[in-house]
Amino acid sequence: MTSNHRVRLNSRPVGAPTAENYLIDEVPLESPGEGQVLLRTLYLSLDPYMRGRMSDAKSYAKPVEVGDVMVGATVSEVVESNSDDYSVGDIVLGYGGWQEYSVENTGHLRRIDPELAPISTHLGVLGMPGFTAYAGLLEIGRPQEGETVAVAAATGPVGSVVGQIAKIKGARSVGIAGGPEKVAHLEELGFDVALDHRSGNLKSELAEAVPQGIDVYFENVGGEVFNAVLPRLNTYGRVPVCGLVANYNLTALPEGPDRSGALMGQILTKSLNVRGFIQTEFAERLTGQFLTDMSGWINEGKIRYREDIRPGLENAPEYFNDLLTGGNFGKMVVAVGAES
């Protein structure tokens, strides 16, 4: 344990990231300062928001600077502690990024109980994606019993939880995913309707599946999926906007007519509430309740989850591109180091 392998941003991508946009290097290990710990990364989370952080365009968070380690949530083991709050061997949720080891301040770490659930789930259903689904749906979507909730990227770590919470709240859940295997998984999760956006007939299939319309649409994708959903939204519909993964690699506006007028017309005439959000705005108020509710639902079998765990930090750039094109099946996690 003398060196640390890292994946850094080598250049800003234009379109889809390529191997040239990353640099893998090896540096000596750092020692923790006062109030810090040295962490060994066990699992690294890969999430769509990272594509935005590779760009220098203005956004809700600072971009990764060229030369810096790629950002990301991690589940790690404390291997050296200079803090009274954590001991060697503790398992923690942190933000170590794409590297084998990290030195972190203890103030933002969260201790993980390995007996509660597999520790990797704290990057998914018990972590940021699960909380994003929980807060976005319940705070913005506010589904009522008997309403219809639709969600895109429905087999992903956010979408799958959205649909299952909707069922818990007594709503009808409609999941939209890509490919027959993912559609079959939605049916296993108990979605009332499961549709394939790659079928070529999403608009007509959606119209047939939800003749009563859609009251809540949880947006993860944008693009053609949103175009199919928009006409089906009911008056006073709510649209929590969590992500727009279909657009993340675009270098210009999509081709075709300007449809912003039609969108604004729908928002006006149907009194739609379209609300973008970042999960951190709810974290201070809701994290404790989320962990109580979600762990309870998992133990009761009301929430099920799927992880796509892949080996090797050096392969993270390849895995990330898979994530951006829908090649993952479940929460994308990189196994960086072996669990003790």
247, 334, 152, 168 alpha-carbon torsion, rounded to 10°: -150
Q: Tell me which amino acid residue 7 is.
A: V
Separation of CA 62 from chain center: 18
| Pairwise CA distance, residues 27 & 49, whole Å | 27
| Pairwise CA distance, residues 178 & 183, whole Å | 7
Contact 54, 69 (CB under 8 A): no
Q: How many CA atoms lie within 13 A of 168 on its CB side?
A: 21
65 CB neighbour count, 10 Å cutoff = 10
> Residue 201 contacts by C-beta under 8 Å, 6 or more apart in sequence?
none
Consecutive H or E run containing 45: strand 36-45
User: Tokens 């994308």 sit at which residue?
Assistant: 332
CA neighbor of 161 nearest in space, from 339, 331, 282: 331
**Structural domains for the chain:** 3-124+306-335 (3.90.180.10), 128-276 (3.40.50.720)
Spell out the per-residue pLDDT of the chain, length 340, in tens: 689 999 999 999 999 999 999 999 999 999 999 999 999 999 999 999 999 999 998 887 889 999 999 999 999 999 999 999 999 999 999 999 999 999 999 998 999 999 888 999 999 999 999 999 999 999 999 999 999 999 999 999 999 999 999 999 999 999 999 999 999 999 999 999 999 999 989 999 999 999 999 999 999 988 889 999 999 999 999 999 998 876 666 667 667 777 788 889 999 999 999 999 999 999 989 989 999 999 999 999 999 999 999 999 999 999 999 999 989 999 999 999 977 6
